[in-house]
Structure 1
């Protein structure tokens, strides 16, 4: 095992190779899944004026009754100043007119002979969203390295930003290889398996700020692999699946070497996913994943997604571990660090079924991975275990 890298060291070495992409101005509405390349401060105050938080009546100070003299609607404010004994009808989100100091809820108002009386008198300031209570001009909205979610997109737009700085979209080529792969899953001979890894890896990457190029499936042939690699010339990151092990027909390593790539490291002390390959060709990073679909998924989760996030500017791109209770007995771990496909429920976690590296049904049922350190003793139900949730982000 001494020739195998540990997980954290392998991740550290990989992330050190992450491509440094140029920063560009991007429409905020196109930034979903990308990261702020600079601190972003509010260009306006929200709300820009005192607003009503409810439907009702904006009242001038006093005990009432109040004479109704107009209306303030969202987008159509009442333009005059209220004098003593006056009020206006007001809707949720409408500007509070000058001279008003509270809002009387619609259900607490008595309307009689053109006058408004309060059945439940509100105190001053009731149901008013004060100017700037959300944020004010110059406030920090999002720090550099923050991932843009739908809510954060809305925050930037509300803060007066139609454009923001982000790193250029990552150009990724995904290549799956192997003579056994059938490109048409509906027409698969007994000695073949449907090609699924390329689609799976591309789908894992898709939610982030990437442009994904699919290559393959490619057979175990040096000429065919050379052609596929040539098509990936412009990619920032090339992700291959299959052909990175030690068999006579595992040709990814020699094909990459012939292409001019230099291996950074090969093999990591994890299960599944031992035959992981990392190489570099100029500024291009190459990540060779195992061909077994579960191994390919787990290594994409532990390595490919963090690499993509690091290239996009995520300051903490690695998956985060949480502690849960074992829901069933877990056997002692072997010589390599193991990641068991598992299902979580009510704070506990249990393995999802067969842990073979080709068992896609188990992978599809899992929502997390149980992280079992090398040599870990058996865990009894209720024992704490580290868990990685299988979700993007």
Structure 2
């Protein structure tokens, strides 16, 4: 279809509207889910010295098969003052420093004490250095452990802490405003007049952003009033990095977002994308803020937020790879041929197979309430049988 942008081009143009925001130093305890703005390099070796990996006895490998005379013990966190000579053994515990002279640990299940001597009762260690964590086996001082742009998971935070870091430099959290439009919308939970519906999109987008790195968002609602919408957009642009509007992005008499953006002094970058659902996506600038206009049908808003809003927020927060990750899995049922736009079908990944959900109309909410995947059907793709591979994006 002429005039429609490919999804990848639209994503690239959206992210190019503004560079990532600045950075700030925060405590490790506050860093979950944030994106590093600088590499994390190790300030120390890990471990700093050779440590025992098991409870047992530190020995010289050449003294096998024993017996040994136990000359003392060493626990984790203590510095051993003992030296292991010929025929000597030191009781050692997991995480304890290896005493001088020892080069192997024999596990306690393979030995027994008898008459003041330590005797081999099992197979024993099969090689020199067995059950020892060598110095810097995890990482060495100066190693780049986590590159800039990495999302901080619990495991990444543990690595940063072990590296010697006390704080982390992370990207700023984008300030996002959600604006839903439409005379028919009513705040969820309130009584509805004839022709009105609950404003589900505002709650949905706020929940999607809450799982990412944006500052907490409370949705605004504006009726179908171009002048009022332009005034609100202008005010929001002064204190937000992203304004996401929902509804009013198409060509109807009550679709005011494009005109309101212009009236507020903003500029349009692109409009309309070769995708389904979600063709009438708007992107532009209003001062330093980016305006992203999403269509109002619930499934359209969900899909376009997944493909554009969340990547934009992650980009501004400093993500190295902000775009959704595409996976592959076999189809659980046959899939018809693709059309003139790329389809993002609500689906479930069950037992390793993709199951397209019944009811793909963009106005339906129930199908994407149970969806955990968006099944991708490319423009003009041939029909496929069950068992053939297909691309998908995982969604929460």
TM range (shorter): over 0.9
306, 310, 323: which one pairs with 1:301? 306
2: CA distance, partners of 1:90 / 1:187: 70
User: Which deviates further from its counterpart, 302-311 or 162-171?
Assistant: 162-171
SS in 2 for 1:302: helix
Shift of 1:210: 2.0
2: CA distance, partners of 1:308 / 1:288: 14
SS in 2 for 1:151: helix
- State the match for 2:320 in structure 1: 315
Correspondence 1:236 to 2:238: no
What are the within-5 Å matches in structure 2 for residues 190-201 of structure 1? Answer: 190-201=194-205
Shift of 1:261: 1.6
2: CA distance, partners of 1:184 / 1:389: 27
What are the within-5 Å matches in structure 2 for residues 1-393 of structure 1? Answer: 1-60=1-60, 62-63=63-64, 64-120=66-122, 121-122=124-125, 123-185=127-189, 187-222=191-226, 224-226=228-230, 228-229=232-233, 230-391=235-396
TM-score by length of structure 1 reads 0.92
User: Which deviates further from its counterpart, 378-387 or 269-278?
Assistant: 378-387
Across the two proteins, how many residue pairs are aligned to each other?
391
Tell me, yes or no, if the aligned pair for 2:231 and 2:264 is still in contact at 8 Å. Answer: no
1: CA distance, partners of 2:18 / 2:156: 25
Shift of 1:350: 2.2
2: CA distance, partners of 1:28 / 1:314: 18
2: CA distance, partners of 1:70 / 1:241: 72
2: CA distance, partners of 1:261 / 1:5: 21
Shift of 1:224: 4.7
SS in 2 for 1:170: coil
Tell me, yes or no, if the aligned pair for 1:173 and 1:212 is still in contact at 8 Å. Answer: no
Shift of 1:233: 2.3
Tell me, yes or no, if the aligned pair for 2:236 and 2:243 is still in contact at 8 Å. Answer: no
2: CA distance, partners of 1:12 / 1:35: 20
Aligned-residue CA RMSD in angstroms? 2.1
Unaligned runs of 5+ in 2: none
TM-score by length of structure 2 reads 0.92
Tell me, yes or no, if the aligned pair for 1:170 and 1:209 is still in contact at 8 Å. Answer: yes
Tell me, yes or no, if the aligned pair for 1:368 and 1:388 is still in contact at 8 Å. Answer: yes
1: CA distance, partners of 2:309 / 2:70: 64
1: CA distance, partners of 2:227 / 2:3: 31
Unaligned runs of 5+ in 1: none
Tell me, yes or no, if the aligned pair for 1:170 and 1:312 is still in contact at 8 Å. Answer: yes
Tell me, yes or no, if the aligned pair for 1:74 and 1:93 is still in contact at 8 Å. Answer: yes
Shift of 1:222: 4.0
SS in 2 for 1:213: coil
Tell me, yes or no, if the aligned pair for 1:32 and 1:209 is still in contact at 8 Å. Answer: no
Post-superposition CA distance 1:152-192 (Å, at most 9, x none): 11111101111232222211112222222221326444532
User: Which deviates further from its counterpart, 62-71 or 103-112?
Assistant: 62-71
1: CA distance, partners of 2:263 / 2:151: 38
